[in-house]
Amino acid sequence: RDKLEALLKIVHCEVISFSNNDDVDAYVLSESSMFVAQRRFILKTCGTTTPLSCVRPLLQLVKQHAGFSQVEDVFYSRKNFKRPDLQKNPHQSFEQEVLYLNSIFKDGTGYCMGTPGKDCWYLYTLSAPKVLQCNNNNNNNNNNDVTMSVMHEPDQTLEVLMTDLDPKVMAIFTKDLCSSAKEATKKSGIDSIIPEMKIDDYLFEPCGYSMNGLSKNGCYMTIHITPEPEFSYVSFETNIPQATYKDVIDRVLQVFQPGKFVLTVFANKSSLAADFPVEVKKRSSKLKSFGGLECREVQYCRLRNYDLSFALYSKFPS
């Protein structure tokens, strides 16, 4: 753990709380969350942290302690900043971030989903196909190589990024209204979004809230809330496998009552959710609107191993 804490110092955040099960270690941080599993590392940060500055030290740490020398997949994503000028290098622009990541990884690609300068979402990921080279020398033919695609275990991620939030709901996540994180979790209804999750939550002073949830099968959910009226923001993320996420999205929106939200969903071909990105892309009748929030924009992208959809919903046109 001391190695991870040293890594977080580079990013300018620290561990506040810890929970785990047989599959995942989950950390609530001063600036969001971190999840560590056997073959996966997830770091979510906010504010003026510098998450990319830990990538090189992280790769060294993984090689030293886990013996992994190759990266299978990389996903760096974020919503557009309201004040990019307040960010530290290389986070002042997505172009700078891409250049930085390209200095570490080969065959990376940057994407902008949505309208640049408005509500958009940036993604950097690897673009080259992952293959295995197998030499078959049974017939003494040294040129008899077989190229095979790597089979991936089922994987999916749903993210809901909410703005223009109801001030009455946001007041729950202040010490003026709730004395503890547990009270805020119950009063808001967060505990009912995915009921089987074991929740580790934290209520900041004087306001702000973070939680990690772990399920028995190793899935996670995480929520981070900035409740101040001038720049209220809530992020929700989970990797639970479902054929459709409509019910989960409904429950998230019922809890937070946003005026606008961005939806992103990744799924690979072996995932239970494999068809959901296409369902979002087609704006199926069940996904055209959520309450008074209408779908204003949809984009779809086929990545190296995943399908990705982005959708913007709002009460009024942007």
**74 close to 52: Cβ distance less than 8 angstroms:** no
Q: With CA atoms as reference, report the closest residue to 24 among 39, 40, 37.
A: 37
- Using DSSP bridges, classify how beta strands 15-20 and 24-29 pair: parallel, antiparallel or unpaired: antiparallel
Q: Are 308 and 264 in contact (CB under 8 A)?
A: yes
Look up tokens 């799924």; give the residue: 267
- The CA-atom distances, in angstroms, between 113 and each of 86, 117, 191, 242 are 23, 11, 31, 24
Q: Which helix (H) or strand (E) holds 208?
A: none
Helix, coil or strand: residue 313: strand
Q: Which helix (H) or strand (E) holds 80?
A: none
**Could you give the strand order of the β-sheet that contains 258-268, starting from the edge strand earlier in sequence?**
198-203, 209-214, 220-226, 233-238, 156-165, 258-268, 306-314, 293-302, 289-290
Residues forming the active site: 32, 46, 210, 224
Confirm if 119 and 80 have CB atoms less than 8 A apart: yes
